[in-house]
Structure 1
Amino acid sequence: MALLEITVIPLGTAAGGLSAWIAGLETLLQASGLPFRLNDMGTIVEGSADELFAIARKLHEHCFVEGAARVYTVMKIDDRRDKAVSIGDKVASVEARKASPDK
């Protein structure tokens, strides 16, 4: 599995805040069935690379459908194929290393 970090920002909208837009994007993520976690600066999604590229496109295009004049999307994909990774694994690894610095 791979991890996607994505931030989708609709521009050219009347509203100053983005929470209503993000809530709409979260509905799409829920419908995708892919595990995801919202954070203060974006969203982490877990899936195959193909699934992640597909959901990224869906999220990006959704903002245009909802009336945005411009959409700015930033994404990073970590596609590790030598071992299974899931949301939270990287944070857990750092926390474990902090708890036992000799490793």
Structure 2
Amino acid sequence: MATPPKPTKRRTYDAAFRAEALRLASESRSTQAAARALNINVKLLYKWQKAVQTPVAAALGASLDPTTAAELRQLRATNRRQAQELEILKKAIAIFSKTDEQ
């Protein structure tokens, strides 16, 4: 009697690892080289890249030159940071307005 094979568990990756992998892939000479450096499947890295692309960026595809793509990434990062700062300020206003009423 042969024993059944053991079930394999999939590795899970947190958001920080994914973000770092995507950053490394964008700065690397190729996505395959980045996947090898991180010891992950290249198809998984391609899947993550496709998931983070917006429909506009996906439609533009390779038509973006590297400087425009870098500027776009920088602007998106700035936009995310400013949105977070705005949320913090909204919460602070709510907290301070409650203490003034009491």
Q: TM-score, normalised by structure 2?
A: 0.30
Q: Which has the larger radius of gyration?
A: 2
Q: TM-score, normalised by structure 1?
A: 0.29
Structure with greater contact order relative to length (CA < 8 Å, sep ≥ 6): 1
User: Higher helix fraction: Structure 1 or Structure 2?
Assistant: 2
